[in-house]
Amino acid sequence: MTRIESGGVCFPKGFMAAGVKAGIKASGNLDLALLYSKEPAMCFAAFTKNQVQAAPVLYDKGILFNQNIVSAVIVNSGNANACTGCQGYIDAATMAELVEKRLNLGKFSVLVSSTGVIGEPLPMGKIAAAIPDIVNCLKDDGSELFAKAICTTDTILKTGCVSVQTSAGEVRFGGSCKGSGMIHPNMATMLAYVTTDLMLPKSFSTEFKTMVNESFNSITVDGDMSTNDTCVLMANGQSGIFLNDLSNEEQAKVCEALFDLMKYLALQIVRDGEGATKKIEIEVCGARRKAEAIQVAKSIAASSLVKCAFFGEDPNWGRIVSSAGASGIAFTPAKISLYFEDVQVVKEGMPVKAVKEKLSEIVKRKEYKISLDLSLGEAKASVFTCDLSYDYIKINAEYTT
Amino acid sequence: MTRIESGGVCFPKGFMAAGVKAGIKASGNLDLALLYSKEPAMCFAAFTKNQVQAAPVLYDKGILFNQNIVSAVIVNSGNANACTGCQGYIDAATMAELVEKRLNLGKFSVLVSSTGVIGEPLPMGKIAAAIPDIVNCLKDDGSELFAKAICTTDTILKTGCVSVQTSAGEVRFGGSCKGSGMIHPNMATMLAYVTTDLMLPKSFSTEFKTMVNESFNSITVDGDMSTNDTCVLMANGQSGIFLNDLSNEEQAKVCEALFDLMKYLALQIVRDGEGATKKIEIEVCGARRKAEAIQVAKSIAASSLVKCAFFGEDPNWGRIVSSAGASGIAFTPAKISLYFEDVQVVKEGMPVKAVKEKLSEIVKRKEYKISLDLSLGEAKASVFTCDLSYDYIKINAEYTT
């Protein structure tokens, strides 16, 4: 596992960022963020699979359908610009256009993201007024302000960076994300921005998708996503190094660093889960196919009963086995094994006796791993989840629209 | 809607029941229940779709694969006989056999159900010792003791009966069920037993399945079920009336009464949901197919965020629309309408203004209905759910295996 350093989206060469107060949030906190690459960057993106997609998601997908090069991303927090109809789309496009003009960029070179309340029109007057300001504030060390301005209910800043030494020189990656709800959040959409000065080929989109699936999509515990979820990777090539020119070993090393950064950012979201007191890894191995391992792991990770048991520090393996059985994936109950860390709890479908003391120690930990072996094949996958606590209810019941 | 009267499984002619204390529950409460039809009864059953099925479920399915006639059901609470391997199957078969012998019945004429903790062997000594006792206790008015003995975490008894007058005479239905957890419960499996003195054809199984899907399966909020869920209908024909001999109108009337009883029993489970303070109907209409309407409704009904909002009395329509969008069913967001009771909240995908006061009155109610119109077709379905409260966490985090 690569060591992730502190730093953010401005760590790779050629990126600038800013965060300002536009007055969108009632709290008066930072609520407008801008990420800018001095040279046009190759862009890869993944969006929510929700049928109901916010205007900025629809706008960005339209842009990236036609091209892969963008120069900037403008993000507002405090308002999701979702369920806002045609006007919402016009507002998203206007936000992008205002930034393009101010930065002397061509048309369709800026992406837009929004996060916050659903169904309210964007306060375009405030946003338009703040755009000259935010462009003036762009700085080479604007990572932290950017990271702050994209937050909503987040309690910790989620940033990280990593550099990789190759025979052709140094390659840098930086990133920032937000999100603190676990399940298709409302005020707590997941947004993630990763930057690099590496030059990437267009064909990297396949690899990027896999990385997103195994990082940010492995914490969306039930496959649900919000109306606004977005993950963007911008590669501006300013290191002068092209991925395909590296040796196979170095390509693998560079890709691993990127993936580890994405996973690090994703796990920060789990740690900051609404009301969460624990982070649990659910590993399913011995599956016939990876997709099946993921489905079983997500079924366990999303179960309210399982998550309550985590909170109660109860090694309730029966709930875990039952959730696996309800996943829709076929397996033979009499073949399965279940482990809490290295302690076997279930063997061939039946409980292993005399492990209660070891178990009760493990479930008291802040972070631990549960492994379910289906004994059907070689495929495996991990999903990360948190516990379901009183505070989750508090945050989500007492938040009033 | 048929009026459901108080009464239970012994209301139809020819049924007897009993409930005794076998010592399975540490609490010392009633934990062994027996339902007996004086004449062999045509039997219809639905079981959990969980891959991990408890021994009694496997045993019952084996019996009903070969025949449709049974005379009795023996039920224990306090132990699920799940994840108990071969011994569990032998124990289930032994339970049935002991009842068969004591009642002078033929082999394979008794079904078995269990509910309670997973992974513990059945205390067969206690059960074997209590079977002569429970057979002696069988009474024509044993409905209430039966209803009590099948309970685990239930806080209310769930029974009901209904009689229908036909040109051929009176037909009676009675029923009893247990279950208080909402989602693939552990200590709170759903068990349901419905009796009738009507004579039913073997082909009634299709109609029975539909009825189960639209009653008991419309409260299993995310399609998850426990390892033990069971619904049994016994029809002993003691009214002397055969369904197929009735006119079409009378057949419809009789079937409606049975379905209304099943739905009544199912809704009792929602009302008794762990920690629940509200019962909400999620109706999805305007779907292309009924299966799609059910999937969208279940996606909304199972969302922790939506259920927290119900508890917080927050008319958070954004969460409802987002959950619908995450259901995996295709629809056009710009076409949907959403109502809380008769108040329209969303029209053509966008919020309707100036309804806040009416809304805040509705969400304070103990029971209300939410309708989502997809405007795609004519199909509709309803799923019943409850809110997610602090007490749900309390019950499920503090329950220790």
Cβ contacts (< 8 Å) between A225 and chain B: which residues? 326
Q: Which tens digits make up the pLDDT trace of A72-105?
A: 999 999 999 999 999 999 999 999 999 999 999 9
Q: Does A121 touch chain B (CB under 8 A)?
A: no
A-B C-beta contacts closer than 8 Å: 210
The CA-atom distances, in angstroms, between A366 and each of A155, A163, A387 are 18, 29, 10
Answer yes or no: do A318 and B83 touch at CB < 8 A. Answer: yes
Separation of alpha carbons A15 and A12, rounded Å:
6
Task: Please indicate if any CB of chain B lies within 8 Å of the CB of A190.
Answer: no
Compute φ and ψ for A99, nearest 5 degrees. Answer: -70, -45
**Alpha carbon separation from B81 to B31, B100, B125, B182, B192 (Å, rounded):** 14, 20, 14, 20, 17
Q: Are strands A367-373 and A279-287 parallel, antiparallel or unpaired?
A: parallel
Question: Which residue from B119, B346, B390 is facing A393, i.e. has the nearest CB?
Answer: B390
Q: Is the pLDDT of residue A188 over 60?
A: no
Q: Nearest CA of chain B to the CA of A99: how many Å?
A: 27
Q: Do A350 and B184 touch (CB under 8 A)?
A: no
Query: In sequence order, what are the beta bridge partners of A110?
Result: A72
**Residue B120: closest CA among chain A residues belongs to which residue?**
A351
A186 and B308 within 8 Å at the Cβ level: the answer is no
In chain B, residues with a C-beta closer than 8 Å to the C-beta of A90 are: none
SS3 sequence of A18-63:
EEECCCCCCCCCCCEEEEEEEEEEEEEEEECCCCCCCHHHHHHHHH
Nearest CA in chain A to B331: A51
Residue scoring higher pLDDT (B223 or B33): B33
pLDDT at A187: 43
- pLDDT of A304 reads 80
Return d(Cα A327, Cα A297) in angstroms, integer: 9
Q: Nearest C-alpha of chain B: how many angstroms from A150?
A: 20
**Mean pLDDT along residues A278-306:** 91
- Inform me whether the pLDDT recorded for B367 exceeds 70: yes
Which residues does chain B have within 8 Å of residue A329's beta carbon, measured at their own beta carbons? Answer: 51
Q: Encode pLDDT of A235-269 as tens digits.
A: 999 999 999 999 999 999 999 999 999 999 998 98
Mean pLDDT of chain B: 91
Our measurement of the distance from residue A145's CA atom to the centroid of its chain's CA atoms, rounded to an integer in Å, reads 19
Residue B23 has pLDDT above 50, yes or no: yes
CB B383 within 8 A of CB B282: yes
**DSSP bridge pairs for A373:** A285, A337
pLDDT in tens, B249-284: 999 999 999 999 999 999 898 888 777 788 899 999
pLDDT at A312: 86
Question: A311 is written with which tokens?
Answer: 């909170």
DSSP H helices in A272-379: 290-302, 304-311, 317-325, 356-362
Which 8-state DSSP code applies to residue A220?
Answer: S
Chain B partners within 8 Å of A390 (Cβ): 390, 393-394
B79 touches chain A (CB under 8 A): no
Q: Tell me which residue has tokens 């045609």.
A: A86
Determine whether A304 is exposed, middle or buried from the number of CB atoms within 10 Å of its CB (0-12, 13-18, 19+): buried
What mean pLDDT do residues B50-68 have?
93
Q: Which residues on A lie below 8 Å from B321 (Cβ)? A: 52, 83, 118, 227
A338-384 pLDDT tens trace: 999 999 999 999 899 867 888 989 999 999 999 999 999 999 999 98
Partner residue opposite B389 with nearest CB, options A327, A348, A393: A393
| CB contact set of B104 (below 8 Å; sequence gap of 6+) | none
pLDDT value for B106: 95
Output the CA angle B203-B206-B210, nearest 5 degrees: 150
CB-CB: which of A312, A323, A351 is closest to B398?
Answer: A312
Mean pLDDT of all residues in B81-90: 93
Would you state the structure tokens that stand for residue A86, as one six-digit string?
């045609």
> What's the pLDDT band for A223 if we cut at 50, 70, 90?
very low
Contact state of A224 with B326 under an 8 Å Cβ cutoff: yes
Which residues are B388's β-sheet partners? none
pLDDT of A21 strictly over 70: yes
Residues B332-362: pLDDT tens digits? Answer: 999 999 999 999 999 999 899 867 888 989 9
pLDDT at A59 over 90: yes
| Terminal C-alpha separation, chain B | 41
Asked if A322 lies within 8 A of B50 by C-beta distance, the reply is yes
The answer to whether B196 faces chain A, any CB pair under 8 Å, is: no
> Above 50 in pLDDT, residue A182?
no
Using CA atoms of A129, A134, A137, A143 in order, give the dihedral in degrees to the nearest 10. 160
- Residues of chain B contacting A89 with CB distance shorter than 8 Å: none
Asked if residues A323 and A300 have their Cβ atoms less than 8 Å apart, the reply is yes
- Taking the C-alpha atoms of residue A185 and residue A227, their distance in angstroms, rounded to an integer, is 9
Q: Touching check for B326 and chain A: CB below 8 Å?
A: yes
CB atoms within 10 A of CB B244: 10
The residue among B228, B304, B387, B389 with the most chain A CBs within 10 A of its CB, best to mutate, is: B304
- Residue B1, Cβ density class (10 Å: 0-12 exposed, 13-18 middle, ≥19 buried): exposed
Suggest the residue from A115, A304, A314, A340 to mutate for an interface test with chain B (most B CBs closer than 10 A): A304
Q: Which residues contact A212 (CB under 8 A, 6 or more apart)?
A: A46, A231, A262
The values of phi and psi at residue B394, to 5°, are -60, -50
Per CB-CB distance under 8 Å, the chain A contacts of B327 are 51
Q: Is A392 helix (H, G, I), strand (E, B) or coil?
A: helix
Helix (H) or strand (E) segment spanning residue A390: helix A390-398
Helices A317-325 and A290-302, axial angle in degrees (round to 10): 130
- Binary contact (B304, A388; C-beta < 8 A): yes
Cα A389 to Cα A189, A301, A308, B67: the distances in Å are: 20, 14, 7, 47
Question: Does the pLDDT of residue B183 top 70, yes or no?
Answer: no
How confident is the model at residue A227, as a pLDDT? 86
Q: What DSSP assignment string belongs to A90-159?
A: HHHHHHHHHHHHHTTPPTT-EEEEEEEESSS---HHHHHHHHHHHHHT-BTT-HHHHHHHT-SS-SS-EE
Could you give the dihedral angle defined by the CA atoms of residues B128, B133, B139 and B143, in that order, rounded to the nearest 10 degrees? -60
Indicate the SS3 state at residue B172: strand
Instruction: Tell me whether residue A189 is one of the annotated catalytic residues.
Output: yes
Decide if B314 and A401 are in contact by the 8 Å CB cutoff: yes
Give pLDDT, residue B37.
Answer: 98
Residue A138: CB atoms within 10 A of its CB come to: 19
Write down the residue that tokens 């609470």 correspond to. B77
From A115, A159, A189, A195, active-site residue: A189
Sorting pLDDT into bands at 50, 70 and 90, what band is B2? Answer: confident
Tell me the pTM.
Answer: 0.83
| CA gap B122, A13 in Å, rounded | 67
Residues of A in contact with B312 (CB under 8 A): 396-400
| Residue-level pLDDT at A398 | 61
Nearest-10 crossing angle of helices B85-102, B124-137: 30
Chain B residues near residue A325 by CB distance under 8 angstroms: 50-53, 227
CB-nearest partner of A85 from B183, B331, B349 = B349
Residue A285, SS3?
strand
Distance from B36 to chain A by nearest Cα, in Å? 31
Q: What share of chain B is helix, strand, coil (3-state, %, to 5)?
A: 35, 30, 35
A326 touching chain B per CB within 8 A: yes
